[in-house]
Amino acid sequence: MANADLPVLKAANNLVAAAYTDQRHLSRATKELIFINSLTALRAPKGQIASHIRVALDLGISPIEILEAIEIVLPEAGIVAFQHGFEVWAEIVGAEAIEPTISVHDSEK
């Protein structure tokens, strides 16, 4: 990007600093939980969600607090978005996923 359009790259970096990395009113930990939530709702690439989960863990946020932030996606973005974030979370924290036992289709009939 720097070779193609340096002014836009600089503007993007300034936006990230102003909205995310600069210290303002929200703590960095709170911002990470919001980031994880919004990236999950948007079904962002798993690597993007994973990097913010790792930062959150490094900041001392517990795995269950991160999961709770991901669960908030359920009413607004639905189960598919939640599952996307949950899969990333489970992989990062080493949680074992439990599959539902409800049968939605019986191929024997």
At 42, which CATH number? 1.20.1290.10
Q: Show pLDDT as tens, one digit a residue, over the chain (109 residues).
A: 677 888 898 898 898 888 888 889 999 999 999 999 999 999 999 999 999 999 999 999 999 999 999 999 999 999 999 999 999 999 999 998 777 677 766 666 5
- Output helix, strand, coil percentages for the chain, rounded to the nearest 5: 70, 0, 30
In a domain? residue 83: yes
Predicted TM-score (pTM) of this structure: 0.81
In a domain? residue 89: yes
- DSSP state, residue 97: P
In a domain? residue 8: no
Q: What kind and span of H or E run contains 1?
A: none
Overall domain count for the chain: 1
In a domain? residue 67: yes
CA distance linking residue 57 with residue 89, whole number of Å: 11
| Residue-range definition of the domain harbouring residue 61 | 27-93
The pLDDT of residue 51: 97
In a domain? residue 17: no
In a domain? residue 39: yes
